[in-house]
């Protein structure tokens, strides 16, 4: 499937800002004025959460979110679409907590239930976009398109990419066909499913790729709030010991994701640490610091992926550490047993596209 996405055509479109605000039925998030055209057009809700797209550089050189969702809509080209800005939060996504991500997912859920809304765009920072987008995908069955977007460059940068990304995302959510693709990310000219997404560059406009797509990415309807769940990610490196895994256990982590080497390998000390976790009911998921490719637990030698699996670890064949963490958190919040966690990740492997 071609994931390139055309820029919207500006010709012949027109919209205006209506001074009276249309109240949003939800309690959270401020609903701004509706940007609307003179004729009846699709209504797109635009949830502002902060990120680089809403940031400007201060005199000291530091960038921080400062623009509202409503002000960002002023950068759009003329389009035959009604727009409802919703000011939910203004954070750099590196500062987001699972509670913040849950708030975003809850807001999307409210808008999915709003029959007047045709599509939903979420403005989000790129550092954690892959995590929040996957959480929304896991928690909701879509009856309308949901698309995340953001920017690599601040709004006052000479190469500001936010307006083009926003315009493409708004266009994408007006196509009902995109609801069947699950939650999407529209960025740098690409329209990508949230499943398997990772940020591959910190300084180019085309910032995202997929590690390994699935034939039919599951929306698991794991609706339980995960803001009270703690899942730690532990980095594995040559010569590492089990100190960080043991620290996570002492901190009462509900689960651990290993950002392992290669196809999901570690060393004998980590194998023993995995056994200790499993013995006390803390699931361990093995992912990899390698960004692309199918992860297979095939190596032995005392610390390879096969040995980790024998110790009770669950292999994440398609998802990298950040997204594996979100899936594990959602499963644990929903009360999944160790067997169900293992089966879920096995099903992902079975549906991976070769």
Helix pair 98-112, 129-139: axis angle to 10 deg: 50
The string of DSSP codes covering 5-45 is -PPPP-TT---EEEEEE---SSSSSEE-EEEE-SS---EEE
Q: What is the per-residue pLDDT for 347?
A: 81
Beta-bridge partner residues of 197:
210
* Closest to 207 in 3D by CA, of 165, 147, 266, 265: 165
Q: What is the per-residue pLDDT for 18?
A: 31
Please identify which residue in the block is written with the tokens 């975003």.
104
Inter-residue contact 210 to 192 (CB < 8 Å): yes
What pTM was estimated for this model as a whole? 0.88
Q: Which two tokens stand for residue 34?
A: 């509706």
Q: What is the per-residue pLDDT for 77?
A: 87
Say how far apart CA 63 and CA 92 lie, in whole Å. 9
Domains of the chain: 16-210 (3.40.50.1170), 231-350 (3.40.50.40)
Rounded to whole angstroms, the maximal C-alpha distance in the chain is 69
Say how far apart CA 326 and CA 332 lie, in whole Å. 10
Say how far apart CA 255 and CA 233 lie, in whole Å. 9
Q: What is the per-residue pLDDT for 23?
A: 37
Say how far apart CA 4 and CA 190 lie, in whole Å. 4
Beta-bridge partner residues of 74:
none
| Cβ atoms within 10 Å, residue 287 | 28
Q: What is the per-residue pLDDT for 220?
A: 84
- Torsion angle of alpha carbons 248, 250, 251, 255, nearest 10°? 50
Q: Which residues are catalytic?
A: 52
Q: What is the per-residue pLDDT for 28?
A: 47
Q: What is the per-residue pLDDT for 137?
A: 95
Say how far apart CA 303 and CA 293 lie, in whole Å. 20
Side by side, the strands of the sheet bearing 255-260 are 231-235, 255-260, 284-288, 314-315
Helix pair 321-333, 129-139: axis angle to 10 deg: 30
Q: What is the per-residue pLDDT for 19?
A: 27
Q: What is the per-residue pLDDT for 25?
A: 36
Per-residue pLDDT of the chain (354 residues; tens, 9 = 90+): 345 444 343 333 344 333 223 433 333 455 555 555 545 899 999 999 999 999 999 889 899 999 999 999 998 988 899 999 999 999 999 999 999 999 999 999 999 999 999 999 999 999 999 999 999 999 999 999 999 999 999 999 999 999 999 999 999 999 999 999 999 999 999 999 999 999 999 999 999 998 876 766 667 889 999 999 999 999 999 999 999 999 999 999 999 999 999 999 999 999 999 999 999 999 999 999 999 988 989 999 999 999 999 999 999 999 999 999 999 999 999 999 999 999 998 888 777 666
């Amino acid at each position: 499937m071609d994931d390139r996405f055309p820029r919207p055509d500006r010709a012949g479109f027109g919209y205006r800002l209506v001074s009276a605000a249309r109240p949003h039925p939800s309690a959270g998030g401020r609903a701004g004025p509706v940007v609307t055209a003179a004729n009846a057009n699709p209504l797109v809700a635009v949830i502002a959460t902060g990120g680089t797209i809403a940031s400007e550089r201060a005199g000291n050189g530091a960038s921080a979110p400062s623009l509202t969702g409503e002000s960002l809509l002023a950068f759009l080209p003329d389009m035959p679409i009604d727009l409802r800005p919703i000011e939910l939060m203004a954070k750099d996504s590196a500062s987001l907590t699972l509670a913040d991500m849950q708030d975003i997912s809850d807001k999307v859920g409210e808008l999915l239930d709003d029959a007047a809304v045709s599509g939903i765009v979420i403005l989000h920072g790129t550092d954690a976009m892959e995590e929040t987008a996957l959480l929304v995908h896991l928690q909701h069955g879509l009856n309308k398109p949901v698309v995340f977007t953001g920017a690599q460059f601040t709004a006052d940068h000479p190469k500001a990419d936010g307006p083009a990304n926003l315009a493409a995302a708004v266009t994408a959510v007006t196509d009902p066909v995109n609801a069947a693709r699950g939650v999407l990310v529209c960025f740098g000219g690409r329209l990508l499913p949230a499943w398997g997404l990772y940020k591959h560059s910190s300084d180019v406009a085309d910032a995202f790729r997929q590690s390994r797509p699935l034939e039919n990415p599951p929306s698991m309807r794991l609706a339980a709030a995960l803001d009270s769940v703690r899942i730690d990610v532990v980095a594995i490196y040559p010569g590492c010991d089990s100190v960080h895994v043991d620290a996570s256990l002492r901190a009462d982590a509900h689960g651990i994701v290993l950002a392992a080497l290669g196809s999901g390998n570690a060393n004998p000390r980590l194998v023993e640490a995995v056994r200790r976790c499993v013995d006390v009911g803390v699931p361990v998921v093995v992912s990899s610091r390698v960004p692309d490719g199918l992860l297979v637990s095939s190596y032995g030698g005392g610390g390879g992926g096969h040995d980790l699996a024998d110790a009770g670890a669950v292999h994440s064949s398609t998802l990298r550490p950040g997204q594996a963490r979100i899936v594990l958190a959602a499963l644990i919040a929903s009360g999944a047993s160790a067997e169900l966690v293992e089966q879920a990740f096995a099903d992902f492997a079975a549906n991976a596209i070769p």
